[in-house]
Structure 1
Amino acid sequence: MGSLYGLHRPVGSYFRLYERDVCSSLRLTRNLDLKTINGFCTKPQESLKAPPYIYSRRVPLHKPTHWERKILIWSGLFKKEDEIPETLLLEMLDAANNKIWGKISIVMMALTVAGCISMVIEGKKAVKRNENESLTSLKLDKKARLREEGAMKAKRVAEVSILAGF
């Protein structure tokens, strides 16, 4: 019994190797349109023709929308809208989108640097004018104004209550 169990593993691995070799030999015969059904090779009944919107390598094509055509032109893949074919590879649209996002990120970085430089220039101008425009001074002025308004309201409430006889 023990010897049969020991024989079971090598025989199983042999059949797995044999099965793998058969499948690899079938891959080499793709041009003959052979299919494996339950371990047997058969020719298909009907030859399947690829639809017109698919290349011979079965890569799906995409008909670009108006907005995607604009992106293709802005990205520099095509010069004019007339040069864009009716159907494109999805990879081409992805490449165009990546170029556009790269350009947008560069513009955003440039705008951020320009905004920082303009804020530094405005701050230096405020220091030269010797104005008290710091956030701390603005908050202190606002708190003082609110205290004065609160005191005025309290004074009015007190006067109204005295006049009303409370």
Structure 2
Amino acid sequence: MSGNLSWDDFKSQIKEIIKFSETINDNWILEEMNDDPGGSLLKYIKIQSIEEQIFKFEYHILYSLSYSVPVIYFNVVKIDTGQLLSLEEFKEIFVNKNDLDATKMDLYSVLTQMEHPLKFRPFLVLHPCKTEEVLRNFLDSRNKVLTFISLYGPFIFLNLELDYGKELNFK
């Protein structure tokens, strides 16, 4: 069995997330850039105060054509300066090296910065090279995109409402 996802399944599952998001006013947005496979993304923006600084987080959930899995691209901006954080700044501010267990260290090892395939500007990204292997452990999931966000999101301050799991993954 595989943790991979077809483009059609990805698109169907992000539309499910959007539909449920609307019922709980959670502000996920579907952006359809083009009709090609990989041409749509799920977007979420939040403002969060962390250690007396205010940050704007912008998350994009895309489909990786190379790996056939979801992938998270994200950017973080310091509200007071409008400065986009680099990979090094993100790690310096948000990654507590004294609190890293093996799982977190492994995940942060695939955190990199690269050009967004639809926006054509730099974004931080959790590289999808290990995602299929992780999702293989959740073959019973009704919505692999939701499972992916639930597993990877907390490492980059993206936490879903529990209602998503109740409504979309376990019916």
TM-score past 0.5 threshold = no
TM-score normalised per structure 2: 0.18
Task: Work out which of the two has the higher radius of gyration on C-alpha atoms and give 1 or 2.
Answer: 1
TM-score normalised per structure 1: 0.18
Which structure has more helix as a fraction of its residues? Answer: 1
